[in-house]
Amino acid sequence: MFTIEHEFDATVITLVDEGQTPLAEDVTICAFEDCVTVEQFDPRAETTVKITLSPTQIRELAAALDLPEGIYSLATLPQPSRP
């Protein structure tokens, strides 16, 4: 399950693990104009872990999800045609 909320300066997506145990903590993704943050509570360290990705890293991650193993650059990927 996931939720999407539009706030003043960001779009917030929360991913909730509803699978079989052991369940993972919720993941919160905040998309700002200049970066995207991904946060998850680490119960072992009792702290929230946060990473920040640039817009380019997000585009590369999205492209990587549908590609086979290899080394890529967004400049070498086929560009979608525009109507």
Q: Is the pLDDT of residue 6 over 90?
A: yes
Residue 39: what pLDDT? Answer: 97
Q: What are 26-59's pLDDT values in tens digits? A: 999 999 999 999 999 999 999 999 999 999 999 8
Residue 62 within a domain: yes
Q: How far is Cα 77 from Cα 58, in angstroms, rounded to an integer? A: 15
Which residue range(s) make up the domain with 39? 2-67
CA distances from 36 to 17, 28, 33, 52 (A): 20, 10, 8, 6
Cβ 38 vs Cβ 51: under 8 Å: yes
Q: How large a percentage of the chain has pLDDT more than 70?
A: 90
Residue 73 within a domain: no
Residue 44 within a domain: yes
Q: How far is Cα 83 from Cα 53, in angstroms, rounded to an integer? A: 30
Residue 39 within a domain: yes
Q: How many domains in the chain?
A: 1
